[in-house]
Amino acid sequence: MKRAVGIGVDIGGTFTKIAAVDPRGRLLALSEVPTDPQKGPKAFIVRAAEAVRSLEHALGRKGDAVGIGAAGDVDSAGGRLRFAPNLRPFEEFPLRDALSRALRRPATMHNDANSAAWGGFVIELKRGVRNMAAITMGTGIGGGLVLDGRLYEGSTGSAGEIGHMKVFPGGERCGCGSKGCLEAYAGRHAIVRAAERLLAEQPGRKSRLRALPGKLDPREIAEAASAGDALAREVWRGVGHALGLGVIDLVLLLNLDAVLIVGGVARAGALFLGEIERALRESPFRTPCGRVRVRIGRTDNLGALGAGLLSLEGRR
Ligand SMILES: [Zn+2]
C-alpha cells in the first residue's frame, strides 16, 4: 500500500504556506500563496485549492487529507476561526468544510501554534516523549501542548496561549491589552523595545546597535550578540529569563518531559537557552524542573507540516 500523504495549509496574516508531508513528517513539497484576507474567504479557498492542486501536480500524486492551521482562536470541532485579529474577514466562515469540498477529501483545522506543536512532537521529538509543550516565537508568542501523546486543545480549542501567561504581573503592556504577559518580554516587538530602552537609558554604553540605520529587528540584535556585543547579549538574557519563568510555570502545572522552542526568533536560541536552563536549575522544584528538556527546534515550516500531519491522525 502506498504511504499516506497529508497536505498542510498554514494560514498566516500575509502568506499561506502549503506543504505535502508523509506520516513521519518528511517534507515532500512546499509552496506559498498570498493570503489576501481582504479579498474574502471564498476567494481564498479558490486560491488555496488551486495552489494545492499545482503542488500535487508537481509532486506527482494527490494528498489523502488536508489539514488547516490558522492564526487565531480556532473552533477545531466546527472548522472555523472564531477570533483572528490578522484574518478578520475569515472569522466565522467554514474554512475547513469549504476546503474539504473544493478538494473532495477529508479536512481538519487547528490553531497554527497547536499545529506547530504537533509537527514538533512528530518531527523533532519523534513521538519519543509523552508530555511536551511548544513555544512559537515570532511577532507573537504562541504555544501548543501534547499531553499523553495527544494534541491537547482544551474545552474550546483555545488551550496553549502560553504567550499571555503572566510572567511579570503588572509589568509591560502586551498587545492583548493586559500587562506582564510573556509575549511582552519575548515577542518580536518586546525584544526590539528592550534593546531600544537599554540604548536610551545608558547613552554612554558602547554598542554596535547604535550604528545600525532605521528600526532594529531581532535578527540584528542576535547578530550583534553573537559578535560579542554586551548590550545585545543582555537583551537576549532578558528574553531567556522571561521564557524561563514561563517554562517553570508550565512544568509546575503539567510536569512536562520536553519544551520545544520554535519559530523565526527561536533561531537566536543559543543566545537565550542557557538562561532558561539556569532558571530551571534554580527552581526549588527539582524533580519536575530537572526532568524537562528544553530544545530549540530546527525544522522550518513546522506549522504547515504539523497541519498536514494532523490531517493524517486517525488514518494511521
Ligand atoms: Zn498578552
In tens, the pLDDT along 79-129 reads 999 999 889 999 999 999 999 999 999 999 999 999 999 999 999 999 999
The pLDDT of 187-208, averaged and rounded, is: 96
C-beta separation of 305 from 21 below 8 A = yes
* Residue 316 clears pLDDT 60, i.e. is over it: no
What is the reported pLDDT for 206? 96
Distance 167 CA to ligand 1 centre (A): 10
Strands (E), the chain: 6-11, 15-21, 27-34, 65-70, 73-75, 80-83, 107-111, 132-137, 141-147, 150-152, 258-262, 293-296
Count H helices, E strands: the chain?
10, 12
Q: What are the residues whose beta carbons fall under 8 Å from the beta carbon of 284, sequence distance 6 or more?
A: none
Distance 172 CA to ligand 1 centre (A): 9
More confident residue, 1 or 141: 141
In tens, the pLDDT along 211-264 reads 999 999 999 999 999 999 999 999 999 999 999 999 999 999 999 999 999 999
Measured at the alpha carbon of residue 75, what is the angle toward residues 72 and 78, in degrees to the nearest 5? 140
Distance 13 CA to ligand 1 centre (A): 19
In tens, the pLDDT along 30-61 reads 999 999 999 999 999 999 999 999 999 999 99
Q: At what angle do helices 230-254 and 218-226 cross, to 10 degrees?
A: 110
Q: How far is CA 244 from the centre of its chain?
A: 17
CATH code for the structural domain at 6-120+301-312: 3.30.420.40
Distance 22 CA to ligand 1 centre (A): 35
Q: For residues 212 and 150, give the distance between their C-alpha atoms in angstroms, rounded to a whole number.
A: 45
In this structure, what are the phi and psi dihedrals at residue 30, rounded to the nearest 5 degrees?
Answer: -145, 140
* Sign of the four-CA dihedral 199, 205, 208, 213: positive
Instruction: Name the average pLDDT for the chain.
Output: 96
* Residue 315 clears pLDDT 80, i.e. is over it: no
* Residue 3 clears pLDDT 80, i.e. is over it: yes
Please name the residue that has the C-alpha cell 473544493.
102
Distance 262 CA to ligand 1 centre (A): 19
User: Where along the chain do its domains lie?
Assistant: 6-120+301-312, 128-296
Q: For residues 75 and 4, give the distance between their C-alpha atoms in angstroms, rounded to a whole number.
A: 26
* Residue 182 clears pLDDT 90, i.e. is over it: yes
Distance 227 CA to ligand 1 centre (A): 32
Distance 158 CA to ligand 1 centre (A): 14
Cα–Cα separations (whole angstroms), residue 170 to 140, 177, 180: 19, 12, 5
Same fold? 6-120+301-312, 128-296: yes
Distance 73 CA to ligand 1 centre (A): 14
Q: For residues 308 and 26, give the distance between their C-alpha atoms in angstroms, rounded to a whole number.
A: 10
What is the reported pLDDT for 85? 87
* Sign of the four-CA dihedral 290, 245, 262, 71: positive
Q: For residues 45 and 56, give the distance between their C-alpha atoms in angstroms, rounded to a whole number.
A: 16
Distance 301 CA to ligand 1 centre (A): 24
In this structure, the strands spanning 27-34 and 80-83 are: unpaired
Q: Specify the amino acid at residue 149.
A: G
Query: Domain 128-296: which topology?
Result: Nucleotidyltransferase; domain 5 (3.30.420)
Judged by DSSP in three states, 164 sits in: helix
